[in-house]
């Protein structure tokens, strides 16, 4: 994955990170945290009928230059560019979302990262209960606390399963294996997610931004704020959306 326009300094400025940069786990954790809190998961271009480009330079222009967010291919693609600039080994994996009532294809893009001799799952572009820090792949069936969320990796039939503790129950989020995939392999899934009438991204706004103790979520006209174990919900009017996006998601609507 090559982007002629990617600049690590510009990326760090975009996510608000001013710390030291090294090819180590501490840097990966810090960059993941800062990007999650500054770059929202969002499908606004899909709803506007704009094509979602998998060209790395287009991703840089959208997220870094224009201060936008994106969905998994864009957000994890940007993080992969940062890892690459740091000289950290990574690969894409194709994950199958598991929270639908019927079996779905492997349309989600996640990252496996090898740093300090250990493999980790990194994922900044999952719109549901996404992890908040790298998860060590070899640690299975062990709850891992990340801020106010709890996750666990398990293995079933050769696949690794990401689970999140939701209201006291383990909810399966997605499955994946270590088989590497190429960037171009996500082109069909990107087209389906951005154009198919049954895809969740083509139906209503879905915007998520992580905070220090939870996340802000806009889905359709429902706005939810999760702060620790406190959840507040309200319905927003159409004329409120632009102000809400700016205040809680750091997004400015484009023409």
Q: Which residues are catalytic?
A: 72, 108, 123
Reduced to 3 states, what is the DSSP secondary structure of residue 147? Answer: coil
Please give the Cα distance from 162 to 123 (Å, whole number). 11
| Sheet-wide strand order for 222-227 | 41-42, 206-211, 214-219, 222-227, 230-235
Please give the full DSSP string across 57-103, using - where no structure is assigned: HHHHIIIIIS---B-HHHHHHHHHHHHHHHT-EEEEEEEEE--SSS-
Residue in the structure block whose two tokens are 């980790």? 120
**Among candidate residues 38, 82, 33, the one with its CA nearest the CA of residue 56:** 82
Q: What DSSP state is assigned to residue 54?
A: -
CA 45/CA 253 separation, integer angstroms: 10
Q: Is residue 118 within 8 Å of 94, Cβ to Cβ?
A: no
Give the integer Cα–Cα distance in Å for 53 and 62. Answer: 10
**Complete edge-to-edge strand list for the sheet that includes strand 89-97:** 135-136, 118-122, 108-115, 89-97, 169-176, 159-166, 149-156, 144-146
The values of phi and psi at residue 43, to 5°, are -120, 25
What six digits make up the tokens of 171? 């909810």
């Amino acid at each position: 994955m090559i982007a002629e326009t990617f600049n690590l300094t510009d990326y760090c400025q975009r996510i608000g990170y001013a710390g030291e940069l090294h090819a180590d786990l501490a840097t990966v954790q810090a960059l993941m945290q800062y990007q999650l809190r500054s770059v929202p998961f969002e499908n606004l271009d899909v709803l506007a009928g704009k094509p979602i480009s998998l060209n790395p330079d287009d991703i840089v222009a959208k997220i870094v230059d224009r201060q936008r967010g994106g969905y998994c291919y864009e957000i994890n693609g940007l993080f992969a560019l940062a890892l690459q600039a740091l000289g950290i080994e990574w690969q894409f994996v194709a994950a199958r979302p598991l929270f639908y009532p019927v079996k779905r294809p492997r349309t989600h893009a996640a990252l496996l990262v090898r740093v300090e001799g250990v493999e980790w799952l990194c994922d900044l572009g999952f719109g549901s209960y996404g992890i908040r820090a790298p998860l060590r792949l070899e640690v299975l069936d062990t709850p891992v606390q990340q801020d106010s969320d709890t996750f666990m990796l398990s293995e079933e039939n050769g696949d690794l399963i990401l689970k999140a503790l939701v209201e006291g129950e383990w909810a399966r989020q997605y499955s994946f294996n270590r088989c590497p995939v190429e960037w171009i392999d996500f082109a069909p899934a990107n087209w389906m997610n951005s154009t198919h009438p049954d895809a969740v991204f083509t139906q209503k706004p879905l915007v998520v931004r992580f905070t220090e103790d939870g996340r802000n979520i806009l889905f359709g006209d429902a706005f939810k704020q999760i702060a620790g174990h406190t959840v507040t919900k309200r319905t927003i009017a159409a004329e409120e959306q632009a102000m809400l996006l700016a205040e809680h998601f750091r997004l400015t609507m484009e023409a």
